[in-house]
Amino acid sequence: MRMFKPLFLALSIAIVIPTQSTAVEIPVTFQVQGAGYGHGVGMSQIGARAKALAGETATAILSYYYKDVVIEPLDDTKILRVNVGHLLTSAKMASGTQDATMQIFGGDIGDAQDVVPIAVVPIKSSLNFTILGSTVVPSVVTGKKTVSIPRDRIFTVRWSGTRYLPGVDGVISLTHNSTTKKYRYGQMQFKAVKTATLGYRLEITNSVRLADEYLWGVSEVPSSWPEAALQAQAIASRTFAMSKAGIYRASCDCDLYGEISDQSFLGYAKETEKGWGQLWKAAVTNTAGLTLTQAGKPIAAYFSSSSGGLTETAGNAWGSQRSYTQSVPDLASLDPAINPRFFQWDRTITQASVAVAFVLPDVVNLEIIMKNTSGTVATIKATSSAGIQKSLSGETFRSRTKIPSAYFNLVGVQNAVEPTPSPSP
């Protein structure tokens, strides 16, 4: 970006230096241009689709994107705690199935079957949850009548037709932040969790069996894609979830998030998608147990939508190298026919967004200092109007400014950029 140079007034006997600080233009926006969507590490979903269309098998696709791995069956029957509501102040739960019932229990009761519910929710009623101090306050709403339940730190809700509660097969809806999703399996926990800056917030988790109840609801690629691409995604999704299972995160009361930060978990709507849902469910079933492993353990099977033509390594993206993530050609990501939205993209980033990303009061200049051999930005530097300089990795910059990928260039800026070699596996 342009900077105004200091103005000096030349006089016959002296040079007078202005007493005020130099005026500096603070850009309103910054322009970037790039390709690909996501971090680019591991399997490219667009690349997997292209390979499947070309007749390659799921095994061949996975072996291309993940190096030095074995595809073998593992026990995937473990129960996952999947976060389906994060940092909330309220939520609503209701049954969408006639004659299905819901029960609410105090505490986190796990798999216990001999627990007495504190309330049985009448048919055509809903459960509302709000945060009050460090506690959760549930209430049963039937028509215009509301009955409050004594508050506690955590509650468990079960509905009929699940492993936890016999009866009519129930589908429940969970609404928060003006969004409603449907869930068929498992049970849900509602817990008050203390955050660093917001105080207590409501965390909601769905406890589901990984092998089917969870994977049937994972929504990472369209169910209309070729069978081999769906199977490759099913194996990668199973593997990723296996690598997270049992590693409890207190901040979300979960093993993994049901959002893009881990994997998108749509719930019952994924398997019931008209015309296509059963194809995804079949891909999960037909690859039952198959997992990508090293030394008999599941790898963190990263994947993203597309790349800038070469996939990225975990070392370049996050500073922690994994031998199974190596940079490989991914030309399908640059094909406008198969990746029309992200084969190339342009974005305008606001001054406020860039300043927050670098934790600076303002930013007058951006400069790409280094690029990785994959084409992603390794280091980007910002300079404030006060002359303060800070640097970020390209992946961190991408995440904080919410641009599609770290495969980008700054528009209208000449940068002296030298690619840096990828770390050895």
Please choose, from the candidates 189, 235, 198, the residue with its C-alpha nearest in 3D space to the C-alpha of residue 74: 235
pLDDT for 13 beyond 80? no
pLDDT for 387 beyond 60? yes
**Looking at residue 421, what is its pLDDT?**
55
pLDDT for 14 beyond 50? no
* pLDDT band at residue 24 under the 50/70/90 scheme: confident
pLDDT for 2 beyond 80? no
Say how far residue 99 (Cα) sits from the centre of its chain.
35
Phi, psi of 38 (to 5 degrees): 105, -175
pLDDT for 130 beyond 50? yes
CA dihedral 213, 217, 218, 223 (to 10 degrees): 130
Compute the average pLDDT of residues 341-347.
98
Q: Helix, strand, or coil here: 228?
A: helix
* Lookup: tokens for 336: 């406008």
Q: How many CB atoms lie within 10 A of CB 250?
A: 10
- Predicted TM-score (pTM) of the model is 0.90
Q: What is the Cα gyration radius of the chain?
A: 26
**Looking at residue 56, what is its pLDDT?**
98
Q: Is 178 left (phi over 0), alpha (psi -120 to 50) or beta?
A: left
What is the maximal distance between C-alpha atoms in the chain? 98
Instruction: Compute the distance between CA of residue 394 and CA of residue 417 in angstroms, rounded to an integer.
Output: 13
pLDDT for 358 beyond 90? yes
* pLDDT band at residue 417 under the 50/70/90 scheme: low
Q: In 90-245, which residue ranges form alpha helices assigned H by DSSP?
A: 227-244
Residue 397, H or E segment: helix 394-401
**Looking at residue 22, what is its pLDDT?**
56
Instruction: Compute the distance between CA of residue 408 and CA of residue 349 in angstroms, rounded to an integer.
Output: 13
**Looking at residue 415, what is its pLDDT?**
62
DSSP string, 14-56: -EEPPSSPPP----SEEEEEE--SB--BSEEHHHHHHHHHTT-
Please choose, from the candidates 329, 381, 423, 397, the residue with its C-alpha nearest in 3D space to the C-alpha of residue 39: 397
Angle of helix 45-53 relative to helix 227-244, nearest 10 degrees, comes to 150
Compute the average pLDDT of residues 301-321.
97
Q: Where are the domains of the chain?
A: 9-37+342-420, 79-219+249-258
Average pLDDT, the chain: 92
- The share of the chain scoring above pLDDT 90, in percent, equals 89
Instruction: Compute the distance between CA of residue 124 and CA of residue 143 in angstroms, rounded to an integer.
Output: 8
Residue 283, H or E segment: helix 277-286
**Looking at residue 304, what is its pLDDT?**
97
pLDDT for 11 beyond 70? no
Q: How many CB atoms lie within 10 A of CB 204?
A: 25
* pLDDT band at residue 414 under the 50/70/90 scheme: low
The answer to whether 329 touches 309, Cβ cutoff 8 Å, is yes
Please choose, from the candidates 408, 419, 417, the residue with its C-alpha nearest in 3D space to the C-alpha of residue 307: 408
